[in-house]
Amino acid sequence: MHDITAIKPAETAPQTSHYVGKSANPRYAELYRHYPTIDYLRRAARRKLPHFAFEYSDGGSGKDDAGIKRNWAALDEVELIPRYGVMPSLPPCDVELFGRRYAAPIGIAPMGGPAIVWPGADKHLARAAQQARVPYVLGLAGGATIEEIAEIAPDVCWFQLYRAAKNDHAIGFDLVRRAAATDCNALVLTLDVPVRTTRAREVVVGLGGSGFHPDAAMLTQMLLSPRWTYALLKNGIPRFATLRAYAGDNASINDVIAFARREMGGAFTWEEVAKYRDRWKKTLIVKGILHPQDAEKAVALGVDGLFVSNHGGRQIEALPGPIDALPAIVKQVGSRATVMYDSGVRSGTDVVRAYALGAAAAFAGKAFLWGLGALGEEGPGHVIDILIEETRSAFGQIGAHRPEDARSVVIRHNGALHF
C-alpha cells in the first residue's frame, strides 16, 4: 500500500512529450467515433480478417485461452485510489527509458508473424512507433528485416532475439552484429519459450503445423476479406525476413519455418546471457521474468532491463498474471535495472496500473494486432493514440500530474505474489 503525502503544483510538471498524436491525425475523430477503445478494434478485427488470421492474433495456449484470461483478470483486479483537488489539466506522460525520452510509458511488444494478421504489419508498426516516439520491439520472426525496420524507425527500434545455439551461437551472434550495425537501440533476449506448446486455435485453422499450406477454407476466407487480400498482393506472402538470409536467398516461407525449427529453440541459459552481454555493448534486456531471483540473476550479469511477462499467455495457462509478480520483482531489482511490463495490456488504465506498481513502461502486443486487423496500416497509429490518451486520462484521474506521482497513490492489489 502507498499513500500520497504531498502533491506538487501542476505547473511544475515537465512539458517535454514528443507525442503529437490525435492532433496530427486528420482522421482521428472519425476513427475514434467508430473505435474509441481497443475492445472495439478487437470486435472489428474479428469481422474483417480472414478467420485464420484473427485466430492467430487472438488465441493463446491451453484450455479456452485460460492464460490470456488470467492476465486480463489480474490486471482488472488492481485498484488505484484517486486523490482529487490537485489536477487542473491532463498531464504529460513522457518518460525516459535507457537514456532516451519517449512519448509515454508504452511500447509495442515483440510479436511473431504479425504479417499473418496483416501483410506488411512490421513496417506499419515501425512507422507508427517512430511518428509517436514510442519503442517498437521487432520480433525475430517478423516480416521485415532488422535493417529495414531500423531505417524506418531509427529512434525507437529495439530487436528481440530467440535462442539459436548451434555452431556456438553462430546465427545468434551474427544477428547481434547486424543489430549493432543498424544502430538498433536495445537487444531483447526472450527467456520464456523453453519449449513450444500447442495453441489450439492456430492448429484448427491450419497454422499450427510444419508450414503455411493454404487449404480451400483459408482461400475462401481470403476472398471474403478483400482488404486483407489486397494487402497480401501488395506486400507478398509473409516471411520471416530476418532469418531468410540464413535459410537461403530463394527460401520459401516453409523453408524458413523448417530452418528455424531445426536451428533454433530452447531458452537462453544464464551462461548464454553472459555471452550476449559481452558481445552487445548497448542496452540489453531479458524478457519473460516472473520470479525475483531470476531477476536478480539477470542484473548480476549486467543486464540493463527486464520484462515481467508470461509471453502473453501464449505458452502455458498455469502461470500467474505477470502484474501479480511485478511488485516483488521491482522490490528486488528496481533500483538497479529498468523493470518493464508485458502481457495483457488492453488500455491506458492497464498501463497506469503497471506503472503505479513500479514498471517503467508497459508494452502491448495483441492490441496492435487487433488494430491492424480492424484498420490495416492505420491501425497501429490509432492504437497508440488510444493508449496514450487513456494513459494521460488515467494519470489525471488519480491525481498524478506527472507519471512519477502514480507511484504514490494507494493501491489495492490482493493478487500480489509474496515470494
Instruction: Report DSSP letters for 5-37, one per residue.
Output: -----GGGS-------GGGG-TTHHHHHHH--S
Q: Given the DSSP bridges, would you call strands 186-190 and 362-364 parallel, antiparallel or unpaired? A: unpaired
Q: What is the β-pairing status of strands 186-190 and 136-138?
A: unpaired
Angle at which helices 348-356 and 66-76 cross, to 10°: 70
Which residue from 109, 119, 186 is spatially nearest to 146, judged by alpha carbons?
A: 186
Of 325, 331, 329, nearest in space to 343 by CA: 325
Residue 2 has which C-alpha cell?
Answer: 502507498
Question: Which parts of the chain sit beneath pLDDT 50?
Answer: 1-17
Q: Which of 93-96's residues contact partners 24+ apart within 8 Å by CB, and which partners?
A: 93/17, 93/19, 93/388, 93/391, 93/392, 93/395, 93/402, 93/403, 94/14, 94/16, 94/17, 94/18, 94/19, 95/360, 95/361, 95/403
**Predicted pLDDT of residue 25:** 74
Choose, from 124, 169, 311, 413, the residue flagged as catalytic.
311
pLDDT at 202: 73
Q: What is the pLDDT of residue 6?
A: 35
User: Running DSSP on this structure, what letter comes out for residue 378?
Assistant: G
User: Distance (Å, rounded) from C-alpha 159 to C-alpha 176?
Assistant: 9
Cβ contacts of residue 207 below 8 Å, gap of 6+?
A: 52, 55, 56, 116
CA distances from 137 to 22, 82, 126, 240 (A): 23, 33, 9, 15
Distance CA 223, CA 219 (A): 6
pLDDT of 87: 61
pLDDT at residue 5, rounded to an integer: 33
Cell of 402: 506527472
Q: How far apart are CA 180 and CA 282, in angstroms?
A: 8
Instruction: Evaluate whether 352 touches 395 at the Cβ level (below 8 Å).
Output: yes
Helix (H) or strand (E) holding 97: strand 95-97
Note the pLDDT of residue 195. 66
State whether residue 227 is helix, strand or coil: helix
Taking Cα atoms as reference points, which of 390, 353, 398 lies closest to residue 85? 398
In the prediction, which pLDDT does 249 show? Answer: 73
The question of whether 311 is a catalytic residue gets the answer yes
Counting Cα atoms < 13 Å in the Cβ hemisphere of 76 gives 7
316-319: long-range pairs with CB below 8 Å, 24+: 316/61, 316/62, 316/67, 316/197, 317/60, 317/61, 317/62, 317/63, 317/65, 317/66, 317/67, 317/70, 318/62, 318/67, 319/67, 319/70, 319/290
Which residue, 200, 205, 192, is CA-closest to 66?
A: 200
Task: Give one DSSP letter per residue of 127-141, joined into a string.
Answer: HHHHHHT--EEE-TT
Q: Which CATH class is domain 10-200+260-412?
A: alpha beta
Please say whether the beta carbons of 187 and 158 come within 8 A: yes
Q: What was the pLDDT predicted at 211?
A: 65
Residues 6+ apart with CB under 8 A from 131: 20, 24, 381
Specify the DSSP element, H or E, that contains 407: none
Rounded CA-CA distance 162/188 in Å is: 9
From residue 122, how far is each of 39, 51, 109, 114 by CA, in Å? 22, 20, 12, 7
Residues near 394 by beta carbon (within 8 Å), at least 6 away in sequence: 80, 348, 349, 351, 352
Residue 159: which of 134, 194, 183 has the closest Cα? 183
Residue-wise over 18-34: b if at least 16 C-beta within 10 A, else e?
Answer: bbebbeebeebeebbee
245-261 pLDDT, tens digit each: 898 878 888 888 888 88
307, 326 Cβ separation under 8 angstroms: no
* The pLDDT of residue 137: 98
**Cα distance between residue 82 and residue 97, in whole Å:** 26
